[in-house]
A and B are shown apart, each in its own frame.
Chain A
Amino acid sequence: MGVFDVVGPVMIGPSSSHTAGAARIGLMAREILKDEPKKAVITVYGSFAKTYKGHGTDRALVAGLLGFSADDVRLRTSFSLAEEAGLEIDFHRSDAEVHHPNTVRIAMTGASGRQVEVLGVSLGGGKIEIREINRAEVALNGEEHTLITVHRDQPGIIAQATTVLAIGHINVSNMRVFRSAKNATAVMIVCTDSAVPPEIVHMIENITAIESVVTLRPI
């Protein structure tokens, strides 16, 4: 833990896990949507469902969806700001069993009609993890530049993508691959020390068997 994690983060109270973490999950969801959200169906589970009101978890999630960071005082009034921004919020509590006590599912529809669903967990101290995108398993913490590919699982795809990154002098700090089954859809998550520029993203998109590429900036 660095000194600025001990004396920090700077955040809107009252809880680093239930407020700051929730805001970061909302912000990460917006980043993954890559669009101005117009509708969000939010379902909270576990401890989030039990104590969301007193912790302002609902307001924090909506603030994140509006693009506010965890130390933005607008978090306090996010519901009315969402209304002004034309973002419709449909909020639910669920008593379904979940793996992590601080879990939320957010199904978003963007201005362009784009639909993305994410599952996020708040790990404590403001740290988060996005564990699903459109029901596919992922692991994103929002702390680094990240490139995500959706591709057909077959030999050589990972090597080709990392070769393109090497050509662009992009240093990979962490990398994980998830797949639902052999030869089925796979997701590759590559964390990098610097942002991946558009021309490199385009080269990766052109690799056969890669269906889509998304880049995320640290939140």
Chain B
Amino acid sequence: MYKYEYNSLHDLLTLAEKDGTTLADIVVRHEVESSEVSEEKVRAMMDSRLDVFQESIDAGMNDPGKSVSGLVGGDAHKLAESTPTLLGALAHKAAIYALAVSEANAKMFKIVACPTAGSCGIVPAVMMAEAETLNISRDAMVDALFIASGIGAVVSHNATVAGAVGGCQAECGTAAAMAAAAAASMAGGSNDTILQAFALCLKNTLGLACDPVAGLVEVPCVKRNAVFAVEALAAAEMALAGIKSVIPPDEVIAAMAEIGRIMPVALKETSDGGLARTETGKAIAARLEKAMEA
């Protein structure tokens, strides 16, 4: 048993309160004690993840092409060219970046699986858009990413982050909730506010099916990343206003695990249900199969 080991968000909060410090500090200290790597190196490693976030945003924004299947590509550019009618500047930018990273992923550029490749656009989009808009320091960004990753580790420990095990709530749901926590942290939220942002966000992804068309990480994944980036910001905004989740964060994670267990296998990355089995979804799968045989 390590001094800073945490297996729940309650553990994480208690450890931080006991030492009068931030959630980020506890996550860093546990990483240092368990990996036996210095704090400086651990922070540098997380910092380099931010570089890849930026690289993947740039790749998605700069490449005009389509994915191999032809299903996705070009929407980040399209949204960036359009003046937002409904969204504020930050949310608009987050949606653009999430499309960019997810399109970059589908087009085989370098990304950070966060927590998975299918959900890789949400955390980078929210963090980078917020950092640019609110002029957040690099240190605060690294702290926020440690918090997001520590929270993700708790979800992985007590539920799952694999679509094949828990459906898309486990992938994009977890990613969005991690992003909400990071957003609240970067905006100066307290430890409790950060966890409330997480809970408010995750609650609203529960039950989400993983039903990718033709088994590819494209439809609905790419656009789902963009919508969930905006949801993460909405949840963080509510938490920053002092709104609390009636169901505590750890119990929301437990609910997600239970829903994942009882969710039909057809909705867990098998492409045997949902959008994948719509008339259009089936037609796309048949077309791609035919193209592969040729």
State the Cβ distance, B37 to closest chain A Cβ, in Å: 10
Chain B at the A interface: SS class: helix
B-contacting residues, A20-59, CB 8 Å: 20, 47, 50-56, 59
Residues of chain B lying within 8 A (CB to CB) of residue A52: 292
Closest chain A CB from B179 CB (angstroms): 11
The answer on a CB contact under 8 Å between B112 and A8 is yes
B14 interface contact, C-beta 8 A: no
Q: Is B118 an interface residue (CB 8 A)?
A: yes
Chain B residues positioned under 8 Å from A50 (CB to CB) = 215, 289
Question: How distant is the Cα of A1 from the Cα of B31 in the complex, in angstroms?
Answer: 11
Contact string against A for B residues 136-148, beta-carbon threshold 8 Å, 1 for contact and 0 otherwise = 0000000001101
Cβ-defined contact, A73 with B110, below 8 A: yes
Question: Complex formed: what's the CA distance from A37 to B134 in Å?
Answer: 52
Give, as a whole number of angstroms, the nearest-CB distance from A138 to chain B: 25
Q: Which residues of A contact B68 (CB under 8 A)?
A: 53-54, 56
Residues of B38-63 at the interface with A, using a CB-CB cut-off of 8 Å, are 45-46, 49, 52
Q: How far is the CA of A20 from the CA of B112 in the complex (A)?
A: 11
Asked if B113 and A125 make an inter-chain contact with CB atoms under 8 angstroms apart, the answer reads: yes
Are B218 and A54 interface neighbours, CB within 8 A? yes
Q: Mark B79-122, 1 if CB is under 8 A from A, else 0.
A: 00000000000000000000000001111111111111110100
Give B53's nearest chain A residue, CB to CB.
Answer: A7
Given contacts A7-B49, A13-B104, whether A54 and B161 have CB atoms under 8 Å apart is no
**A6 with B156: CB separation less than 8 A:** yes
The reply to whether A124 and B162 contact each other, CB–CB distance below 8 Å, is yes
B-chain residues with CB within 8 Å of residue A93 when the two chains form the complex: 292
Q: CB of A10 within 8 A of chain B? A: yes
Residues 57-85 (chain A) with a chain B CB within 8 angstroms: 59, 71, 73, 75-76
Q: How large is the interface on B (under 10, 10 to 19, 20 to 34, 35 or more residues)?
A: 35 or more
User: Is B13 part of the contact surface with A, judged by Cβ < 8 Å?
Assistant: no
Residues of the B chain whose Cβ atoms lie less than 8 Å from the Cβ of A15:
117-118, 217
**Complex Cα gap A19–B118 (Å):** 12
Q: Are A3 and B146 in contact (CB under 8 A)?
A: yes
Contact of A8 with B120 at beta-carbon distance under 8 Å, contacts A51-B216, A54-B215, A75-B108 already known:
no
Task: Find B67's partner among A2, A54, A76 (CB 8 Å cutoff).
Answer: A54
Asked if B35 contacts A7 (CB within 8 A), the reply is no
Q: Answer yes or no: B288 CB below 8 A from chain A CBs.
A: yes
Given A8-B49, A20-B117, is A2 in contact with B216 using a C-beta cutoff of 8 Å? no
User: Smallest distance from the beta carbon of A85 to chain B beta carbons, Å?
Assistant: 20
Which residues from chain A contact B156 at a C-beta distance below 8 Å?
1, 5-6
Chain B positions within 8 Å of A6 at CB level: 114-115, 148-149, 152-153, 156, 161, 178
**Across-interface contacts of A59 in B (CB, < 8 A):** 108
B105 touches A16 (CB 8 A): no
B27 at the interface (CB under 8 A from A): yes
Residues on B with beta carbons closer than 8 Å to the beta carbon of A13: 104-111, 117, 120, 217
- Min CB distance, B224 to chain A, in Å? 14
A75: chain B residues at CB < 8 Å are 108
* B117 lies within 8 A of A14 (CB): yes
Question: By the criterion CB–CB under 8 Å, are A7 and B117 in contact?
Answer: no
User: Is A3 touching B115 in the complex (CB atoms < 8 A)?
Assistant: no
User: How many whole Å from B255's CB to the nearest CB in chain A?
Assistant: 20
Cβ contact of B214, chosen from A4, A7, A11, A54, cutoff 8 A? A54
- Determine whether A120 belongs to the interface, using a CB cutoff of 8 Å to chain B: no
**B173 contacts chain A at the CB level, 8 A cutoff:** no
> Is there an interface contact between A10 and B149, defined as CB atoms closer than 8 Å?
no
12 A-B interface contacts by CB (under 8 A) = A2-B34, A6-B114, A6-B149, A7-B112, A7-B145, A8-B49, A8-B112, A13-B109, A14-B106, A14-B218, A51-B215, A125-B162
Extra 10 A-B pairs, beta carbons < 8 Å, given A14-B216, A16-B116, A53-B291: A1-B157, A11-B112, A13-B108, A13-B117, A20-B113, A47-B215, A50-B289, A53-B68, A54-B68, A125-B162
